[in-house]
Structure 1
Amino acid sequence: MIVMSIAGVDPSGGAGVFADLKTFQAIGVYGTGIVTALTAQNPYKFFSTLPISENYISEQIDSVLDAYDVEFIKTGMLYSPEIIKLVSKKIKEYNLKAVVDPVMVATSGGDLTREDLAKAMNKYLLPNSILTTPNIAEAEKLTDLKINTKEDAIKASEKIICDNIITGGHLDGINTININDEITIKKQELIKTDNLHGTGCNLSSAIVAYLAKNNDLHTSILKALDYVYEGIKNGNHGTLIAKL
């Protein structure tokens, strides 16, 4: 079972490709990693981003898929509309099943991407994806809706183009799952912790890992939520550092 992460590099290891590979390994699948951008950041401060050229991202993807049979992938920080268009093209070319973590802002507050990213995701990436996993802020950008309540989250989930889970770390632990227009609410206790870095990366990569192990989408989401929750509760930096 071989999966792929297409995302940025966080040198502190808590988010991005490095975090995804840790999660893949912890759940028992072999992970490959395509780098879309380098960043200078740590769990508490964001410094800068250096994007990789579209041609080199394309060559990375082609080189891995030349050797390995990959079905499930996740995307993280894609930085620009041009990179989003490229990745969307590769998803179609190789018939990949993509889980999209629509990363736009680092947990530490740094803007990781260009402002027109949400529009490009809606136009190119989400129509070719099986799931997206936005947090509240990302869901607001994707839908142009303000989310303050469970009802708001449900409305936003209905507007998002593909199946989705809107994570509830900023909505009293209420995770809103929308698969095939069926809504499921999964509420989790919020845990006070200093482990605030890289949650979305770990959730989306865990979903991909469970999908690769022949779980259906809904089961994969629930298992991934439990996986991330246990990581937060146990403060397991070796596997993940997370906040939904």
Structure 2
Amino acid sequence: MIVMSIAGVDPSGGAGVLTDIKTFQAIGVYGTGVVTALTAQNPYKFFSTLPIDENYICEQIDSVFDSYEIEFIKTGMLYSPEIIKLVAKKIDEYNLKAVVDPVMVATSGGDLTKKDIARVLNKYLLPKSILTTPNISEAEKLANMPINTKEDAIKASEKIVCNNIITGGHLDGINTININGEISTIKQELIETDNLHGTGCNLSAAITAYLAKNNDLHTAISKSLDYIYESIKNGNYGTLIQQNVKE
């Protein structure tokens, strides 16, 4: 089973392509990675972004598919409308099933994309995707509404243009899942820690890996939520390892 991450590079290893590959490996699938942008950041501070030329992103994707058969991909930071449109085109070209992590802002606060990314995601990429995994802030942008309550999250999930899980890290641990119009929630205990850098990347990567292992969407999401929770709880997580080294 071979999957692909199309995302940016976090040199600290806690997010982006590097952590996606770690998650793929942990769940037992082979991960390939296409780089959309370089970043200078760590779990505590964001410095800058350097996007990769769209033509070179295209060549990276084509070079992998020249050798491998891949069904499931995940996307992370796509940075610009041009890159989003390119990825949407490749989904059609290679008949891919895409899990979209609509990354817009780094955990440390840096703006990772150009403006108006939510509109372009809604128009070009999400209609071609099998799932998107926004956090509350990202879901507010995709649905164009504020989310302060469980009821708000349910309404937002109905406005997002594809299947989605709105993660509940900033909503009392309530994850809102909308698959084919059927809405459910999964509430998880919130773990008190500052080491949450890259959790969104890990979740979407885990879902992609479990889908590649022949799980349906509901099962893949449930297993992935458990995977992330246990990883944070037990410290088997890239940023936790970094924090331990730092201390």
TM-score by length of structure 1 reads 0.97
AA matched with 2:12: S
Answer whether contact 2:19 2:238 (CA < 8 A) is retained.
Answer: no
> Which segments of 5 or more consecutive residues in structure 1 lack a partner in the other structure?
none
Answer whether contact 1:135 1:167 (CA < 8 A) is retained.
Answer: yes
Cα deviation, 1:91-114, whole Å, max 9, x if unaligned, reads 010000000000000000000001
Cα deviation, 1:61-112, whole Å, max 9, x if unaligned, reads 0000110000000000000000000000000100000000000000000000
Answer whether contact 2:143 2:156 (CA < 8 A) is retained.
Answer: yes
Q: Which residue of 1 aligns with 2:117?
A: 117
Answer whether contact 2:195 2:239 (CA < 8 A) is retained.
Answer: no
Say whether residues 1:44 and 2:40 are aligned partners: no
Answer whether contact 1:73 1:98 (CA < 8 A) is retained.
Answer: yes
SS of residue matched to 1:124: helix
Structure 1: how far apart are the matches of 2:214 and 2:126?
22
SS of residue matched to 1:67: coil
> Which segments of 5 or more consecutive residues in structure 2 lack a partner in the other structure?
242-247
Q: 1:108 to 1:239 in 2, by over 3 A?
A: closer
Cα deviation for residue 240 of structure 1 reads: 7.7
Say whether residues 1:214 and 2:214 are aligned partners: yes
Structure 1: how far apart are the matches of 2:82 and 2:174?
33
Correspondence 1:192-211 to 2 at 5 A:
192-211=192-211
Correspondence 1:1-244 to 2 at 5 A:
1-238=1-238
AA matched with 2:57: I
Answer whether contact 2:2 2:69 (CA < 8 A) is retained.
Answer: yes
Answer whether contact 2:10 2:18 (CA < 8 A) is retained.
Answer: yes
Structure 2: how far apart are the matches of 1:133 and 1:40?
24
SS of residue matched to 1:185: strand
Identical positions, percent:
84
Cα deviation, 1:148-191, whole Å, max 9, x if unaligned, reads 00000000000000000000000000000000100110000000
AA matched with 1:21: I
AA matched with 2:53: S
Q: 1:16 to 1:240 in 2, by over 3 A?
A: farther
AA matched with 1:152: D
Structure 1: how far apart are the matches of 2:196 and 2:126?
26
Answer whether contact 2:196 2:239 (CA < 8 A) is retained.
Answer: no
Q: 1:20 to 1:10 in 2, by over 3 A?
A: same
TM-score by length of structure 2 reads 0.96
Q: For the aligned residues, what is the CA RMSD?
A: 1.1
Cα deviation for residue 237 of structure 1 reads: 2.8
Q: 1:165 to 1:98 in 2, by over 3 A?
A: same
Answer whether contact 1:23 1:240 (CA < 8 A) is retained.
Answer: no
Answer whether contact 2:35 2:52 (CA < 8 A) is retained.
Answer: yes
List, as ranges, runs of 4+ consecutive aligned residues in structure 1 with deviation greater than 2 Å.
237-241
Structure 1: how far apart are the matches of 2:46 and 2:236?
22
